[in-house]
């Protein structure tokens, strides 16, 4: 353990507000060389904000920022990079239209003396760098064609091999499979032993405990606890995160749970023989009223394509969709919406209007029910306010621009837009990804309530916990095909992982 070293980075009494909402209040933070520092806290607790200050994303804040014993102010990410600080953001920041190699060398392409880019050298070195992380891809492939998990790994690899002496990772493991996480941790430990200071933010507390030396807990814009990772426990951290007097809410699903026997509810949606290029092969299933169907599989198994076919964004090459007994061929997402299908994609950015107030975000999908020709903004606000109250969206106002809400609350807004007039089928991609324990449980609760109201719900996820906590029936996708179906039986996380 690297104890007693003097910190390379010290922050004193950092305070930062966004449009009157205080995200950080008087936070102290220190990082030493050769240390992996874990950060935990609920969504909106201020972890990401603090890290963005360190990485030069937020240039305006009050408080002291001391790097190598000298008071420093970064005006931009560029300044931070020049000082050896690099960050992997929660949202991918890669360029999908460039090749893998160009992404790895983004902003630092190798050139010859005349200033021309050395393409072959770049491709070769990019390939070597990625192989060191166990990633075997064609460096000339277009990055956007790769699965999201792989894109995330490539971005991490880029930052880790940048030579930065302070590396910040914000939720780096959310899209990774277990062996990929293991490889990442091995690399992090190697970098730590070489003297790099690493900050690791995650909602997976087991991961934090496994890889960190120190753990800091944030709640509500303040630092509430600091602990030695070797001596603290998951329960203690969760208690610090969510406040005293709350039992640990998260289940680990290491024990088997019992799936209910599927009753004789009618099938609301039937997919038969869906195929799409290289992504999906002959996928068939039913979604029944009052039931949650879980679709589980590793990253890149064809889940996101399947969800987009259900919502009319992609058209299958073969196969049929039947909704409520009627055969459908969606030509647009509007067709799918009219057929009673609602969709929440895995990325909040793709679902919400950040520069518009909350009420417009909530009313957009049901506007045709509220008004025919002219808008009725008052009624929109009433509908939105009811959702904000029911889903306990914070802060409880419908006028704030959506961009000012925390991630978890944005996710609730993404759900809220469909709930004022519930659809027949609700398709949810990764409904709890990147959420803290409290918000996760709230979303789980909301989904169960909707099930009780008779909706057919389809949950697609790459996290076994998500599927196990929600689904009444589970199908497993592997390389675009259904390989297993679990219903009316006992199942544990191990069995599920094994099936995929």
Partner 1 sequence: MVTDDGATISAADRKQPRSIGATLRSQMRNIAPFLTLILLSGFFALASPSFATLDNVGNILTQVSVTGIIAVGLTFVILCAEIDLSIASIANVTGIAVAYFTLQESYVNIANIPLPGWAAILLALALCAMLGVVNALGLTIIGVPSFIMTLAMMQIAAGISALLVRGQIAYKIPGIVATLGSSSIGGIPWIVIVAALMLLAGHVVLTYTRFGRYVYMVGGNREAAEYSGLNVNLILGSVMVISAVCSGIGGMLGVAHFGSAQQNEFDTYLLDSIAAVVVGGTSLFGGRGGIGNTIVGLFVLGVLNNGLDHVNIDSFLKILIRGVILLAALVINVYAQRLRAKVAE
Summarize as ranges the residues that interact with partner 1 (CB under 8 A): 18-22, 219-221, 242-245, 249, 311, 313, 332-334, 336-338, 342-343, 345, 349-356, 360, 364-365, 367-368, 371-375, 392, 394-397, 401, 403-404, 417, 438, 441-442, 445
Neighbour-count burial of 72, counting CB atoms closer than 10 A to its CB (0-12 exposed, 13-18 middle, 19+ buried):
middle
State which residue, 186 or 332, has the beta carbon closest to partner 1.
332
State which residue, 100 or 416, has the beta carbon closest to partner 1.
416
* Helix 119-132 and helix 148-160, axial crossing angle in degrees, nearest 10: 100
User: Residue 154 CB, nearest distance to partner 1 (Å)?
Assistant: 23
State which residue, 25 or 479, has the beta carbon closest to partner 1.
25
**Residue count (the chain):** 500
**Could you give phi then psi for residue 449, rounded to 5 degrees?**
-65, -40
State which residue, 35 or 42, has the beta carbon closest to partner 1.
42
State which residue, 37 or 337, has the beta carbon closest to partner 1.
337
Structure tokens that stand for 269 in this block: 């949606």
CA distance linking residue 140 with residue 440, whole number of Å: 39
State which residue, 231 or 372, has the beta carbon closest to partner 1.
372
Closest CA to 319 of 292, 345, 285, 369: 285
What DSSP string describes 165-213? Answer: SEEEEESTTTT--HHHHHHHHHHHHHHHHTT-EEEEE-S-HHHHHHH-S
User: Residue 331 CB, nearest distance to partner 1 (Å)?
Assistant: 9
User: Residue 435 CB, nearest distance to partner 1 (Å)?
Assistant: 12
Cα dist. 111→116, 122, 159 in Å? 5, 9, 20
State which residue, 222 or 493, has the beta carbon closest to partner 1.
222
In 339-378, which positions are buried (b, 16+ CB within 10 angstroms) versus exposed (e)? bbbbbbbbbbeebbeeeebbbbbbbebbeeebeeeeeeee
User: Residue 74 CB, nearest distance to partner 1 (Å)?
Assistant: 16
User: Residue 485 CB, nearest distance to partner 1 (Å)?
Assistant: 28
State which residue, 3 or 244, has the beta carbon closest to partner 1.
244
In 236-249, which positions are buried (b, 16+ CB within 10 angstroms) versus exposed (e)? ebbbbbbeeeeebe
User: Residue 48 CB, nearest distance to partner 1 (Å)?
Assistant: 12
User: Residue 272 CB, nearest distance to partner 1 (Å)?
Assistant: 23
Say which DSSP state 260 is in: P
User: Residue 399 CB, nearest distance to partner 1 (Å)?
Assistant: 9
């Amino acid at each position: 353990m690297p104890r007693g070293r003097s910190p390379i980075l010290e922050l004193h009494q950092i305070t930062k507000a966004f449009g009157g909402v205080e995200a950080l209040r008087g936070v102290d933070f220190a990082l030493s060389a050769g240390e992996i520092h874990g950060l935990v806290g609920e969504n909106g607790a201020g972890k990401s904000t603090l890290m963005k200050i360190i990485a030069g994303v937020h240039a305006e804040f009050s408080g002291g920022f001391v790097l190598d014993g000298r008071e420093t102010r970064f005006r931009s990410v560029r300044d931070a990079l020049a000082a050896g600080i690099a960050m992997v953001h929660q949202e991918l920041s890669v360029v999908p239209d460039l090749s893998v190699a160009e992404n790895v060398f983004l902003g630092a392409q190798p050139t010859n003396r005349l200033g021309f880019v050395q393409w072959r050298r770049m491709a070769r070195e990019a390939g070597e760098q990625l192989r060191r992380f166990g990633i075997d891809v064609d460096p000339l492939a277009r990055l956007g064609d790769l699965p999201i998990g792989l894109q995330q790994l490539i971005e991490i690899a880029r930052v880790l091999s940048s030579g930065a002496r302070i590396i910040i990772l914000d939720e780096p493991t959310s899209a990774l499979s277990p062996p990929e996480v293991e490889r990442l941790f091995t690399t992090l430990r190697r970098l730590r032993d070489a003297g790099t200071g690493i900050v690791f933010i995650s909602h997976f507390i087991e991961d934090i405990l496994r890889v960190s030396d120190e753990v800091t807990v944030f709640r509500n814009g303040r630092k509430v606890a600091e602990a030695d990772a070797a001596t603290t426990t998951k329960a203690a951290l969760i208690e610090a995160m969510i406040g005293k007097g709350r039992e640990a809410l998260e289940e680990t699903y290491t024990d088997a749970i019992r799936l209910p026997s599927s009753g004789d509810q009618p099938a609301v949606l039937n997919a038969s023989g869906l195929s799409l290029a290289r992504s999906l092969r002959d996928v068939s299933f039913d979604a029944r009223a009052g039931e949650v169907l879980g679709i589980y599989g590793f990253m890149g198994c064809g889940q996101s394509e399947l969800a987009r076919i259900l919502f009319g964004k992609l058209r299958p090459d073969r196969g049929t969709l039947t909704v409520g007994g009627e055969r459908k061929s969606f030509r647009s997402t509007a067709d799918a919406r009219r057929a009673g299908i609602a969709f929440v994609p895995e990325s909040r950015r793709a679902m919400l209007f950040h520069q518009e107030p909350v009420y417009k975000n909530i009313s957009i999908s049901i506007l045709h029910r509220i008004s025919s020709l002219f808008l009725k903004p008052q009624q929109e606000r009433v509908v939105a306010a009811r959702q904000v109250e029911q889903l306990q969206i914070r802060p409880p106002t419908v006028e704030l621009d959506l961009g000012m809400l925390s991630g978890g609350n944005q996710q609730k807004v993404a759900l809220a837009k469909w709930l004022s007039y519930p659809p027949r089928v609700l398709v949810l991609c990764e409904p709890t990804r990147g959420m803290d324990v409290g918000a996760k449980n709230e979303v789980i609760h909301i989904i169960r309530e909707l099930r009780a109201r008779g909706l057919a719900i389809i949950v697609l996820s790459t996290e076994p916990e998500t599927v196990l906590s929600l689904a009444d029936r589970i199908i497993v996708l592997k390389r675009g095909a259904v390989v297993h179906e679990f219903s009316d039986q006992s199942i544990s996380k191990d069995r599920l992982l094994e099936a995929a």
